[in-house]
Amino acid sequence: MSTISLADLLVEQTEAQFGTTILASLTAAGFPTTSWASTSVPVGLINAFARASADVSKLVPKIAAGGLVRLSTGGWLTLLASSNYLEERAGATYCVRSIRLTDLSGSPTVIAAGDLIVQSAAGRHYRNVAGGTLAASGTLDLQFKAEGTGSEYNADAAPWSFSTALPGVTLTHLALLTAAVDEESDESLRSKCVSKWSTLGAGANDDAYRYWATHAPGVTKVARVKVRRHHPLPGQVTLVLAGASTTVLAGVVAAVQDYVDPATRLGKAPTCVDVFVEAAVEVPVAPVATVYRRSSHAAAIAAAHAVSIPAVAADTEIGGTAYRNEFVQRLMDPDGVVNVVLTTPAADVVLAANEVLTVTSLAGIAYVDV
């Protein structure tokens, strides 16, 4: 019996490979395979068996990788994390916006929750989550929830229009109330699973502190944790917290502190270690650049930048370095961008151990059609 390795299991076999194997086995058994016409019954059966085997073979790599956290992906990783690690993948969320309705018809309009659907310039739809009365020649501010999930909705912009007819009423976008987030990535979920088991060891280690800081009861805003050992004094540990793209509020810091190492010393940290929790110090960056673009791609380029440039902050670790070239690359990435001249930042942004990057505004990005 031949030995099958994990590497073998992770490779999907094709229909042609199965067909070759079946023919070789039949030839070795003495069947006259070379005399069979391509339209004969034996060849038809071989092709059918090969096709069925190839369909089954597509599942083998997924099943093999599905039992290993480093190799598992997608739904298989979701199942593995839930069943073996008791960790759930965080789902994508909905974007919520505040939009003002202005009556130009001179008559009042009663609006119920769910009556209205509006759409952005990109054609993505939002439905009102509450109702009210739009007074004659007056205004009414309503919250509209996206009909789909994911961060792509955060980049939606004017012009806004009604998908449901409401004559004599205009729309004005006021504010993005709740930014949407994408479904948790495989990398993030995999990291949660791997770091969780560090909490089972004696004492504590960096991964254990990171896990506790991101799993304090009721705390959902902590996305990044910097573990500073022997700080501020030898034998002490400081945890620096940040969210996905900014720092965290004082209440979050207090909740993590109380969970990891409260004054009673009945927290997660070893009794021989003092743990201090603090919010990262924000280092604001407002990129200033001139982007030369094809006018036909204008809307798509602006929408892409609205997502990718702020994401530089999310992708930069606490105490890390935000490279100037990363800003240039992300500005250049969308189709239709011809050239980019970046003024700010003028150099790499090197963060101190307790600092986190924050992209504060995109108003400094000017677009020139060429």
- CATH number of the CATH domain containing 133: 2.60.40
183 within some domain: no
- Whether 252 and 206 share a structural domain: yes
Does 84 fall in a domain?
no
Specify the pLDDT at position 202.
66
Beta bridge partners of 281: 355
Tens of pLDDT along 70-124?
999 999 999 999 999 999 999 999 999 999 999 999 999 999 999 999 999 999 9
307 contacts 264 by C-beta, under 8 angstroms: no
pLDDT in tens, 130-156: 999 999 999 999 999 999 999 999 989
Helix (H) or strand (E) holding 96: strand 94-103
Nearest-CA neighbor of 243 among 198, 279, 272? 279
Query: Are residues 108 and 155 both part of a single domain?
Result: yes
Residue 89 pLDDT: 94
Q: Do 112 and 169 reside in the same domain of the chain?
A: yes
CATH of the domain at 249: 3.30.70
Assess if residue 144 is contained within a domain: yes
What is the rounded average pLDDT of the residues 6-32? 89
* Residue 190 in domain: no
DSSP string computed for 266-297: -SSS-TT-EEEEEEPEEEEE--EEEEEE-GGG
In this structure, the answer to whether residues 266 and 301 fall within a common structural domain is no
pLDDT number for residue 62: 87
Question: Domain boundary at 178, 193, 212, which?
Answer: 178
Q: What is the pLDDT of residues 178-237, one digit of tens each?
A: 989 899 999 999 988 988 888 877 677 898 999 999 999 988 889 999 999 999 999 899
Let me know the angle formed at the C-alpha of 147 by 297 and 163, rounded to the nearest 5 degrees: 70
Residue at 103 is within a domain: yes
SS3 for 201-256 is: CCCCCHHHHHHHHHCCCCCCCCCEEEEEECCCCCCEEEEEEECCCCCCCHHHHHHH
Residue 89 lies in a domain: no
Residue pLDDT, tens place only, 284-341:
999 999 999 999 999 999 999 999 999 999 899 999 999 999 999 999 999 999 999 9
Q: Are residues 253 and 305 in the same domain?
A: no
- Number of other residues whose CB lies within 10 A of the CB of residue 338: 13
pTM (2 d.p.): 0.64
- Same domain for 304 and 350, yes or no, is yes
Q: Among 256, 279, 302, identify where a domain stops.
A: 279
Would you say residue 171 lies in a domain?
A: yes
pLDDT over 90 for what percent of the chain? 76
Q: Are residues 32 and 52 in the same domain?
A: yes
- The angle subtended at Cα 128 by Cα 127 and Cα 132, nearest 5°, is 155
For residue 181, the 8-state DSSP code is -
What is 29-62 written as a DSSP string? Answer: TT--GGG--TTSHHHHHHHHHHHHHHHHHTHHHH
Number of domains observed in the structure of the chain: 4
- Is residue 1 scored above 70 in pLDDT? no
Indicate the residue among 279, 295, 314 that finishes a domain: 279
Q: CA 101, CA 99: separation in Å to the nearest integer?
A: 7
Domain that holds residue 135: 94-178
| Residue whose C-alpha is closest to residue 367's, from 297, 270, 275 | 297
| Percent above pLDDT 70 for the chain | 99
Residue 137 domain flag: yes
